[in-house]
Amino acid sequence: MSVLVVNSGSSSVKFQLVDPESGESLASGLVEQIGEPEGRIVLEYRGVETEKRREIADHGVGLAVAFEMLADAGVALGSDVTAVGHRVVHGGEIFYQPTLIDDAVLKQISDLSSLAPLHNPPNVLGIEVAREQLPDVPHVAVFDTAFFHTLPAAASTYAIDRDIAKAHGIRRYGFHGTSHEYVSQQVAEFLGRDDLNQIVLHLGNGASASAIASGVPIDTSMGLTPLEGLVMGTRSGDIDPGVVMHLRRSADMDVDAIDQLLNRQSGLKGLAGVNDFRVLGDRIADGDDNAKLAYDVYIHRLRKYIGGYMLDLGRLDVITFTAGVGENAANVRGDALAGLEGFGIKIDQERNTLRSKEARVVSTDSSAVKVMVVPTNEELAIARAAEKLVQNID
């Protein structure tokens, strides 16, 4: 039996059929170019890739076509799937455990859209379509914010009027929690220790950092929304809030325009015009000064968080890189940790440049702090969480 995992994100829909016991991916697919005249739906099943091109008005249409492709490929979702696990970005203060979805829960997730306007609405669309397609299968929401629900008050509290904060649910929630939890657990298993002090760096188009002590998160870089923290592909990360007021007053930009700027047109894209790290690297090699500055800003912010979390943890055992950039960009790992030998952090250049899809140590044998690369697998983590909840209900 298997679990269908649906990740209906801000600009695409990813789906995967997972065996939660073995961890094997039985089928996977992607819906992209949503809202464009010629969208793309790709399905890989039993080593065969099929593709459809058609107009995809929204996430719901794309996911419906994906279900059709799965059926055409011979995947009997109704009988083979024990649960559907949905990645939901924002759970607010309401949801911090995997949750069985009914109409009331779906409405609450939708009501939280003001906290994640780019993410929760497509999450809701994905859930609605999947429930229509598989009405007799339990659907489970797994929240990005859940792992960080227990952050210490000093780390989760913004220094604003406490009554206003309470009335509007304003606190630091943190995101990518499923990935940070999964990767930190993998590191603990790999090293055979459950008392590790870890820094986990989830570096993809979205990027976040966390400080984890003995499996418990004590800080993370994202806050009320996924905008706070590290420089990202299209997001600014940390920024003086005064910039928002300044743009409103001097550029006559409304809230939606500023939101679009900071979430969609900033970060690497805002500085260099591209948010793909491979293209950025090519431009740097060609002598593009804007691309080089974007990279330098990215690394500068990353190093600030690493240093801050080293102090938060007091004793540091492991720094782990994960997600697309973290797993594949050896230069990012090397530059982020350059010159930290005095803190017991020593990268082995040969190990660092070796490409592998397996969890591995890339620090020297004499490094007091281990540096690791661990592939994340949010789909497997969501599948196991959904399966566990359904089994407990049964």
The answer on 79 and 10 residing in a single domain is: yes
Total structural domains in the chain?
A: 2
Q: What's the predicted TM-score (pTM) here? A: 0.92
Q: What percent of the chain lies above the pLDDT cut of 70?
A: 100
One domain for residues 130 and 203: no
Say if 355 falls within a structural domain. yes
- What confidence tens digit (pLDDT) does each residue in 217-237 have? 999 999 999 999 999 999 999
Nearby residues of 47 by Cβ (< 8 Å), 6 or more positions away: none
Q: Are 200 and 138 contained in the same domain?
A: no
* Beta strand 197-203 pairing with 318-322: parallel
9 has a pLDDT exceeding 80: no
138 and 210 belong to one structural domain: no
Q: Does 172 reside within a domain?
A: no
| CATH code of residue 14 | 3.30.420.40
Looking at the structure, tell me whether residues 129 and 198 fall in a common domain.
no
Domain termination residue (choose one: 107, 126, 143)? 143
* Same domain? 227 vs 367: yes
Q: Does any domain span residue 393?
A: no
Is the pLDDT at 280 greater than 70, yes or no? yes
Last residue of a domain, one of 86, 119, 143: 143
Same domain for 72 and 201: no
SS3 label, residue 274:
coil
Strand (E) positions, the chain? 2-8, 13-18, 25-32, 39-45, 48-54, 81-88, 99-100, 139-143, 197-203, 207-213, 216-220, 318-322, 360-361, 370-373
In a domain, 44, yes or no: yes
Mean pLDDT of the chain: 93
Token pair for residue 347? Answer: 């990268």
Asked if residue 211 and residue 123 are part of one domain, the reply reads no
Q: What percent of the chain has pLDDT over 90?
A: 74
pLDDT at res. 394:
62
Task: Please indicate, yes or no, whether residues 243 and 134 belong to a single structural domain of this protein.
Answer: no
Range of the domain at 270: 192-378
pLDDT for 12-65, tens place per residue?
888 999 999 998 988 899 888 888 788 888 889 888 888 888 888 888 888 888
Q: Specify whether 210 is located in the same domain as 358.
A: yes
Residue whose token pair is 């996924």: 226
Of the three residues 111, 128, 143, the one that is the final residue of a domain is 143
Worst-scoring range by mean pLDDT, 1-15, 122-136, 165-179?
Answer: 1-15
Per residue in 235-270, pLDDT tens?
999 999 999 999 999 999 999 999 999 999 999 999
Which of the residues 103, 144, 163, 289 is marked catalytic?
Answer: 144
Is 144 among the catalytic positions?
Answer: yes
315 pLDDT above the threshold of 80: yes
Averaged pLDDT, 329-339: 97
Amino acid, res. 276: D
Q: Say whether both 134 and 199 belong to one domain.
A: no
Buried b (16+ CB within 10 A) or exposed e, 242-253: eebeebeeeeeb
114/219 same-domain check: no
On whether residue 394 sits in a domain, the answer given is: no
Looking at the domain assignment, is residue 164 inside a domain? no
Asked whether residue 84 is domain-assigned, the answer is: yes
- Residue 291 located in a structural domain: yes
